[in-house]
Amino acid sequence: MLNLLDYSYNEIEKIIAEMGEKFFRAKQLYSALQNYKKADEISNLSKSFLSELSKTYTFCPLQIFKKFVGKDGTVKYLYKLDDGNLIEGVLMSYKYGNTICVSTQVGCRMGCKFCASTLNGLVRNLTAGEILAQVLCVNKDLGGTYENRKITNIVLMGSGEPLDNYDNVVKFIRLVSSEKGINISQRNISLSTCGLVDKINKLADENLQITLTISLHAPNDDIRKQTMPIANKYGIKEVINATKNYFNKTKRRIVFEYALISGVNDSFECAEQLAYLVKGMSCHINLIPLNEVKERGLVGTTRKKAYAFMNKLAQLNVSATVRRTMGEDIEGACGQLRAKVLNNKI
């Protein structure tokens, strides 16, 4: 079956035309889809038309399977896809709006040692419509519509490596930022990657305004290779050069994620090397004490030490902040919730 959310407005117009339906039906159908309505919830289209559509297409490709609300208000969603696979997402509320963290793959094949998403490898890529569905479904859950949206920001930081599912992810970004749809500004979308250099360079030429976030997690190749297998394919200098290219083409400030792991990458010497690596760049470093993943045996740096690391970077004129950890009580880190469910712990 094909899913209607995989199509742009223009493509929906074509589908409608091919079915011999009136032109304005396209707008009615597209609005209903953007409000995440199932066929039986759509009242302004005829039953016969909807049942004809349903022969070829599905409407809502995922459902909320479980929902956990943390003490700090962070909500963790577990969704079930049509094929039974589970993916997860997190909703974080800030003063300026609501940010949703979306998954791009079921599982992941990158193998980062600290990350729960990759524990069972890659199951499959998500389609553009399945990524979009996470945004539309939670927007609806918050009482929003596509015209009066409750979701204001998106981070592609859930399970999966977005650039390992390149075409679907780029299509998703265009769909979610389309004026005909929920129309979330590309400037409010961050894509996080472990550093697939060839794809970063390709992304730089897509003419998008999204923020590129790099999961750096080390100041040199030796340390990076200890936790991130991708470092064996692309050296840290290549990654930095690709981000410089992205900045030159898009003028968007680069963000580096740096998870502080006790005794691995949190020394002052590491801070100095890191400062040297990004010297002169328009960038910001997000420090986050590692969210411990028991299966991996790696421990987060204390918050006190994280602030000392930040201050060292500040002395060296590098912009950095220690990120609030959100949703720790509800397995907020990437892939942790799905891992628990797969292990029958919930």
Taking CB under 6 A as the criterion, the residue among 215, 220, 243, 301 binding ligand SAH is: 215
Residue 227 in the binding site for ligand SAH (CB under 6 A) = no
Report how far residue 209's alpha carbon sits from residue 200's, in angstroms, rounded to the nearest whole number.
13
CA distance 125 to 166: 10
Min dist CB 205 to ligand SAH, Å, is: 20
295 in catalytic set: no
Residue 282: closest CA among 209, 211, 202: 211
For ligand SAH, what does the binding mask look like between residues 88 and 127, x meaning CB under 6 A?
A: ------------------------x-xx------------
Least Cβ distance, residue 215 to ligand SAH (angstroms): 3
Mark the segment that binds ligand SAH (CB under 6 A) among 27-35, 43-51, 171-179, 289-297: 289-297
Among 42, 86, 175, 293, binds ligand SAH (CB under 6 A): 293
Enumerate helices (H) and strands (E) in the chain, giving the number of each: 11, 14
Q: Are 261 and 215 in contact, with CB atoms under 8 Å apart?
A: no
Choices 15-23, 69-77, 165-173, 186-194 (CB under 6 A): range interacting with ligand SAH: 186-194
Stretch that binds ligand SAH, among 66-74, 169-177, 196-204, 287-295 (CB under 6 A): 287-295
Cβ closest to ligand SAH, residue 31 vs residue 85: 85
Strands 254-260 and 97-101: unpaired
291 touches ligand SAH by CB under 6 A: yes
| Distance in Å, CB of 40 to ligand SAH, minimum | 35
The footprint of ligand SAH on residues 139-158 (CB under 6 A) is 157
What's 324's DSSP letter? P
What's the closest the beta carbon of residue 101 comes to ligand SAH, in angstroms?
8
Among residues 201, 132, 133, the alpha carbon closest in space to that of 163 is found at 201
CA distance 221 to 153: 32
And the tokens for 202? 């390709």
In the numeric block, which tokens belong to residue 108?
Answer: 């992941």
User: Residue 88 catalytic?
Assistant: yes
Q: Are strands 86-94 and 97-101 parallel, antiparallel or unpaired?
A: antiparallel
259 scored as a contact of ligand SAH (CB under 6 A): yes
Tracing tokens 């590098």 back to the chain, one arrives at 318
Which residue in the list 21, 60, 88, 331 is annotated as catalytic?
A: 88
CA 126 – CA 166 distance, rounded (Å): 11
Reference 126, options 79, 57, 184; nearest CA is 79
Does residue 257 interact with ligand SAH by CB under 6 A?
yes
Which residues contribute to the site for ligand SAH (CB under 6 A)?
Answer: 112, 114-115, 157, 161, 192-194, 215, 257, 259, 288, 290-291, 293, 333-334
